[in-house]
Each structure stands twice: as C-alpha cells, then as structure tokens.
C-alpha cells in the first residue's frame, strides 16, 4: 500500500487555488463599479476574451451555468425549445434551469461519445404548427464533460452548425473547457468558435481562476446578456478583483494545459494496468479520465472509498464508473504517486 501525506485531489479541475502570481494580479487590480458603469479590469478581460474567441464582444459571468442559461434565454423565446445532446452539462447538471427560469424545453438527442451528427438532428425541428413548440437553437459542448473531456470533430461541428443556420436556428457552444480542446487539437479558439453564434467559456476550470466565466457573441446579444445577468442577480460591483485572476489565467495558463493532458494520459495508463478498470473507449483526449469498474470485482463507490483512504480523491459517476480530472494544482510527483495507488488498488 502506497502511503502519502497530502491528499491528491483529482475530483475536478474546479478545485484549484490561485497561484501566488495570480493572487498578486488580484491584489494589484484596478477596479470600478461594474454595475454603475465600468470596471477597467473586467473591460480588459472581456475585450481579450472576445478577441481570442473571434467574437464582437464578451461579458464576464459568475459561473458557467449562468453564462449558458443566459445564452439559452436570449436565443429562445419563452415556450420554445432547443436541441442538445442528452448527456450535456446544460441538460444534465443545471437543474433544468432553462425550464425553471426561462420557460424553455430541451429536445435531447442521444449522441455518440457526446457528439451529435447532422444525420442525428435532421428530423428534430418541430413543424410550424400549433401542436408544437418552436425550435430555436442548437447547443453543443466541447470538450464534453460527461464523455471524458472528449473533443468533438470540428468538421462535424461545421456541418451541423451550417445545417442549423440553414434552418434558421441559432447555435451556442458550451465551451467550459474550450481551452483544452484548442491546445489538444492544435486549432485556435477562434477556429473552434467560428461556427457558433455564442460561446460560454470558463476561467475557473483548467485555467485555474477561482471564479468566473464569460459569454461571447455579437454586440447586440452581449448587451442583452448584461441585462439578463442583472436580472439573474449576477451584477457584480468591484468584480475586477475576480476579473484579474481570470485575466491572469487567460494570459498565462492556456499553454500549460498540455501538461494536464499528459498527466491524464499517465492516469489512464495506470487504470489500464489494473485488471479491475477500463478507460472508457480506451480514449483520453484532454484532462478527464472516465474509467469503468469491473462489476465482478467491486463498485465505483468502493473504489472511491479505498482510493480516498490512500490519499487519492476522485469522483464516482454512477454505480460502475469513476472519474479523474487533472489540473494545475497537481505536480508530476503527485501524478506518479496517484498512478501507483491506482495500479495496486482493489
Ligand atoms: C461543460 C460544463 N459546462 C458548464 C459548467 C458549469 O460551470 P459552473 O460550475 O461554473 O457553473 C461545467 C462545470 O463543471 C461544465 O463542465
């Protein structure tokens, strides 16, 4: 049994704490009142985000959930529907907020590895007829959280978004981990975002900021998003202190994601070295490892428990599935220790 002192936390890439340099940037932030008029640091962050994503404008949001939900609300009128993949975060993990807050319905389509194809959605737009909801929007997620940080095929994304636009649908991307998709695919964020009318990105995941997301899109949409953010209680005053952390993360932490991906690969190999585990589809694209536990050996809950006792934290994603996520607060040494624990457990 490998024993270590400090727990290695691979539950999520949201667990990171600001680095000393990021804290310094927060301390030095120039701030204003972003609700009354402007906060200069947020303005800088929003401009840089819009430029990187190749959109006219962007707005800082307290969370990815709010960013997604405001996009849905603005693209769809009350009592209409949007098309999304059945395992996506917007549908699966946001309490059906689109229904609760905006009177919308999700038309969920089962994807392959979290991806929708044009063929799978072709027949999903409701006819203009008083029996049906009006279909307004197509939502995709890249990388896909529940499918292990999987990167969607950009060729397929272009195809499905052109289909959506030809059919008068808007397109929204939940790009909470877009940065991971960019570094792993070699495509720029701008290229990945090009087919979409709006994009939500998070600074508080792989980039390591303590709080914050942004919604990007056309100026007119972002002006409306500002109103909706206030309505949802997300108007923040001296938010530049948080914006400074996000700005620092955007300027300094994108390139290093490659290291998180290498660490995920190591964790995946360790799982494959243990007969009780199988990495989902033997595939790891970015920083998330989804691992199925052999039911004849034990359950996910037991594995999580045992790993926990050995100082390695991960999450159970159902009866027979566990998840590891790598991030900037785990060192190479910790990853090596984690691998030894995984290889010898159960
Ligand atoms: C793909 C995806 N979208 C949206 C979110 C929501 O972000 P937040 O936790 O900031 O609300 C998450 C959070 O993990 C996510 O993984």
Of 252, 275, 292, the residue that ends a domain is: 252
Question: For residues 184 and 180, what is the distance between their CA atoms, to the nearest angstrom?
Answer: 6
Residue recorded with tokens 């927060």 = 26
Residues 80 and 193 occupy one common structural domain? yes
CB atoms within 10 A of CB 103: 13
Quote the ligand 1 centre to 193 CA distance (angstroms).
Answer: 18
Per the structure, the complete domain to which residue 58 belongs is given by 31-252
Residues 57 and 179 occupy one common structural domain? yes
Distances, alpha carbon 239 to alpha carbons 7, 36, 58, in Å: 32, 12, 15
Which of the 8 DSSP states describes residue 78?
Answer: T
Q: What is the mean pLDDT of residues 256-275?
A: 98
**Is the per-residue pLDDT at 240 higher than 90?**
yes
Residues 173 and 293 occupy one common structural domain? no
Residues 215 and 141 occupy one common structural domain? yes
- What's this model's pTM, rounded to 2 decimal places? 0.97
Q: Would residue 1 count as lying in a domain? A: no
* Cβ of 207 less than 6 Å from ligand 1: no
Query: For the segment 186-234, what is each residue's pLDDT rounded down to a tens digit?
Result: 999 999 999 999 999 999 999 999 999 999 999 999 999 999 999 999 9
CATH number, domain containing residue 289: 3.90.1150.10
Distances, alpha carbon 5 to alpha carbons 2, 12, 309, in Å: 10, 20, 11
Which of the 8 DSSP states describes residue 11?
Answer: S
Q: Would residue 22 count as lying in a domain? A: no
Residues 334 and 212 occupy one common structural domain? no
- CB distance 115 to 152 below 8 Å: yes
Residues 101 and 195 occupy one common structural domain? yes
Task: Tally the domains of the chain.
Answer: 2
CATH number, domain containing residue 217: 3.40.640.10
Quote the ligand 1 centre to 89 CA distance (angstroms).
Answer: 7
* Cβ of 189 less than 6 Å from ligand 1: no
* Cβ of 213 less than 6 Å from ligand 1: yes
Q: Would residue 340 count as lying in a domain? A: yes
Query: What CA dihedral angle connects 20, 23, 24 and 25, to 10 degrees?
Result: 130
Of 225, 252, 279, the residue that ends a domain is: 252
Quote the ligand 1 centre to 127 CA distance (angstroms).
Answer: 32
Of 194, 226, 252, the residue that ends a domain is: 252
Nearest CA to ligand 1 atom 4: 64
**Is the per-residue pLDDT at 294 higher than 70?**
yes
DSSP β-ladder status, 213-217 and 277-279: unpaired
pLDDT, residue 157, reads 98
* Cβ of 174 less than 6 Å from ligand 1: yes
Nearest CA to ligand 1 atom 6: 64
pLDDT-based confidence at 264, cuts 50/70/90?
A: very high
* Cβ of 176 less than 6 Å from ligand 1: yes
């Amino acid at each position: 049994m490998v024993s270590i002192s400090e727990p290695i936390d691979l539950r999520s890439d949201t667990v990171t704490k600001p680095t000393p340099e990021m804290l310094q940037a927060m301390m030095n932030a120039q701030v204003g009142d972003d609700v009354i008029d402007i906060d200069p640091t947020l303005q800088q962050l929003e401009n840089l985000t819009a430029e990187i994503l190749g959109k006219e404008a962007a707005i800082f949001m307290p969370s990815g959930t709010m960013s997604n939900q405001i996009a849905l609300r603005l693209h769809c009128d009350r009592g209409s529907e949007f098309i999304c993949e059945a395992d996506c975060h917007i549908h699966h993990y946001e309490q059906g907020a689109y229904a609760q807050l905006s009177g919308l319905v999700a038309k969920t389509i089962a994807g392959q590895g979290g991806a929708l194809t044009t063929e799978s959605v072709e027949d999903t737009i409701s006819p203009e007829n008083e029996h049906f909801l009006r279909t307004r929007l197509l939502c995709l997620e890249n990388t896909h959280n529940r499918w292990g940080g999987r990167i969607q095929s950009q060729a397929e994304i272009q195809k499905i978004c052109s289909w959506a636009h030809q059919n008068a649908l808007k397109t929204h991307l939940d790009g909470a981990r877009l940065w991971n998709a960019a570094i792993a695919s070699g495509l720029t964020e701008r290229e990945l975002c090009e087919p979409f009318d709006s994009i939500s990105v998070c600074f508080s995941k792989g980039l390591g900021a303590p709080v914050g997301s942004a919604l990007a899109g056309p100026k007119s949409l972002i002006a409306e998003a500002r109103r909706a953010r206030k309505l949802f209680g997300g108007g923040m005053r001296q938010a530049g202190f948080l914006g400074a952390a996000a700005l620092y993360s955007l300027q300094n932490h994108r390139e290093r994601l490659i290291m998180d991906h290498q660490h995920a690969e190591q964790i995946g190999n360790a799982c494959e070295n243990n007969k009780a585990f199988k990495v989902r589809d033997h595939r790891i694209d970015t920083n998330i490892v989804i691992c199925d536990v052999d039911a004849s050996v034990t359950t996910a809950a037991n594995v999580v428990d045992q790993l926990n006792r050995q100082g390695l934290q991960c999450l159970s994603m159902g009866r027979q599935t566990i998840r590891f996520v790598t991030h900037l607060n785990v060192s190479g040494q910790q990853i090596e220790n984690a691998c030894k624990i995984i290889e010898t457990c159960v």
